């Protein structure tokens, strides 16, 4: 009996040692990348997504977070990484997506949304889901709409209260032709540049200004190299959590459903965080020495109308969606 007990124990030990590496190997790992600080709401949303997926998968899935362009040199690079397999999950703006799928330009037109409530309604409704679905054909699966908030304008030269005040300023923009065009019609000199290069360019005077939502301006410490902030709100900047389609298709149906659920829940959380930050950070930027102006938005809306004439035709039959949003229907 003693001999049998020893044999049984040895067999159990061998079995345990054999199974342990297999269980570890079965864990599914993902790399999630974004381009900004780990203090930004993108990262907070990514942390919430990670928390939900890892907890509700019972540890079967792990997600590693890579902020600050650790997986690429800008959002376009990260999006290309989804296609190349160097990035598994992307969190970031949709600004560069017009270069992959023209219909994403729909959300780049200036002064398209009256407020956040309208933006959320459109993004979470039929129009937003239609546009998100267009990514499928380029190897990317959109999971949910995040946001980057309304974009505002900073510069180191002068206060901006009217479109004429922007004339002659060299301004960093994303690599997005509608964003560039809206500044050109006001006489500014838009200069596309990867985000990782922007702070140094502002510091050295290579460019005079940049445009971004308040949380970017605050957490990336733009106030250290820019004196003037104009609350123009010229573009609402949707963002997205998206996954390489090949990685998504490799998941079980149960895990696919979990990813979609976690994305939607983290999106609601991320929107709450960015709105909270916006409310708090404008006051803090004033305390930090920025001169904040609140221009008459109607003047900027009128000045940028030619952008609609220039680019609306590129949406083809989907130009009707632009009219639908503008009419509030």
pLDDT by residue for the chain (329 residues), tens digit each? 454 555 445 445 445 444 444 445 478 999 999 999 999 999 999 999 999 999 999 999 999 999 999 999 889 999 999 999 999 999 999 988 888 888 999 999 999 999 999 999 999 999 999 999 999 999 999 999 999 999 999 999 999 999 999 999 999 998 889 999 999 999 999 999 988 899 999 999 999 999 999 999 998 999 999 999 999 999 999 999 999 999 999 999 999 999 999 999 999 999 999 999 998 999 999 999 999 999 999 999 999 999 999 999 999 999 999 999 998 76
The overall longest dimension of the chain from CA atoms, in Å, is: 96
90: closest CA among 65, 107, 55, 125? 65
pTM (two decimals):
0.86
In sequence order, the 6+-apart residues with CB closer than 8 A to the CB of 104 are 94, 97, 98, 131, 134
Q: Which CATH architecture has domain 28-327?
A: 3-Layer(aba) Sandwich (3.40)
């Amino acid at each position: 009996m003693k001999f049998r007990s020893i044999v049984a124990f040895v067999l159990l030990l061998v079995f345990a040692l054999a199974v342990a590496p297999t269980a570890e190997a079965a864990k599914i790992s993902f790399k999630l990348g974004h381009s900004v600080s780990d203090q930004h709401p993108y990262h907070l949303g990514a942390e919430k997504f990670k928390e939900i997926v890892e907890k509700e998968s019972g540890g079967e899935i792990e997600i590693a977070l890579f902020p600050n362009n650790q997986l690429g040199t800008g959002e376009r690079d990260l999006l290309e990484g989804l296609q190349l397999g160097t990035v598994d999950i992307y969190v970031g703006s949709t600004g560069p997506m017009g270069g992959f799928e023209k219909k994403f330009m729909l959300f780049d037109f200036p002064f398209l949304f009256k407020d956040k409530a309208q933006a959320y309604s459109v993004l979470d409704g039929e129009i937003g889901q239609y546009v998100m679905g267009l990514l499928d054909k380029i190897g990317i699966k959109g999971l949910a709409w995040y946001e980057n908030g309304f974009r505002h304008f900073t510069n180191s030269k002068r206060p901006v209260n009217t479109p004429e005040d922007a004339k002659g300023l060299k301004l960093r923009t994303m690599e997005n032709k509608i964003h560039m065009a809206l500044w050109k019609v006001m006489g500014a000199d838009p200069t596309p540049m990867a985000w990782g290069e922007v702070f140094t360019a502002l510091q050295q005077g290579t460019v005079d200004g940049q445009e971004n939502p308040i949380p970017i301006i605050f957490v990336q410490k733009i106030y250290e190299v820019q004196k003037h902030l104009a609350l123009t709100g010229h573009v609402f900047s949707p963002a997205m959590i998206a996954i390489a389609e090949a990685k998504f298709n490799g998941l079980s149906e149960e895990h696919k459903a979990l990813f979609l659920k976690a994305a939607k829940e983290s999106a609601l959380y991320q929107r709450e965080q960015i709105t909270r930050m916006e409310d708090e950070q404008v006051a803090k930027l004033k305390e930090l020495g920025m001169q904040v102006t609140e221009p008459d938005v109607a003047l900027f809306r009128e000045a940028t109308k030619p952008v609609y004439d220039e680019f609306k035709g590129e949406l083809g039959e989907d130009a009707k969606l632009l009219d639908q949003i503008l009419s509030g229907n």
